[in-house]
Amino acid sequence: MTGTTRSSSGLDDRRKRILFRCWHRGTREMDLILGRFADAEIANLGDGDLGDLERLIDVPDPDLYAALIGDAPLDPQYASALFDRIKAFRAVDHDA
């Protein structure tokens, strides 16, 4: 997979912006992790989860990637149930 498979059609502007930002991180690894998660979950996230995702998007790629793969702890201000969901989602092979 090289990019989003989800259309932003039918999403509100906030979700469209988040979806775009998840697929345009700066590093390909983070594009794939956050982009795939956003493709699958963006339409169903509540306001609290959207806020958590917006905050995670602002974490620099190296720091967020290290936390997602377990090489470094995530700064506690960004720790959330949504982060745990992204981490668990990343561990599943979604292309199988």
62 in helix, strand or coil?
Answer: helix
Query: 12: which DSSP letter?
Result: -
Please tell me the predicted confidence (pLDDT) of residue 93: 59
In whole angstroms, give the CA distance from residue 80 to residue 94.
Answer: 22
Q: Please report whether residue 80 resides in a domain.
A: yes
Range of the domain at 43: 13-90
Q: Please report whether residue 27 resides in a domain.
A: yes
Q: Please report whether residue 45 resides in a domain.
A: yes
Q: Please report whether residue 47 resides in a domain.
A: yes
Tens of pLDDT along 82-91?
999 999 997 7
- Please name the amino acid found at residue 16: K
Q: Please report whether residue 34 resides in a domain.
A: yes
Q: Locate 10 and state its tokens.
A: 């039918």
Helices and strands of the chain, counted as H and E runs: 5, 0
Q: Please report whether residue 44 resides in a domain.
A: yes
Number of domains composing the chain: 1
Q: Please report whether residue 55 resides in a domain.
A: yes
Residues with Cβ within 8 Å of 44's Cβ and at least 6 positions away in sequence, in order, are: none
Q: Please report whether residue 50 resides in a domain.
A: yes
* Average pLDDT, rounded, for the chain: 89
CATH number at residue 79: 1.10.150.250
Residue 5, pLDDT above cutoff 90: no
**Helix, strand, coil proportions of the chain in percent (round to 5)?**
65, 0, 35
Tens of pLDDT along 33-57?
999 999 999 999 999 999 999 999 9
Residue 2, pLDDT above cutoff 80: no
Please tell me the predicted confidence (pLDDT) of residue 95: 54
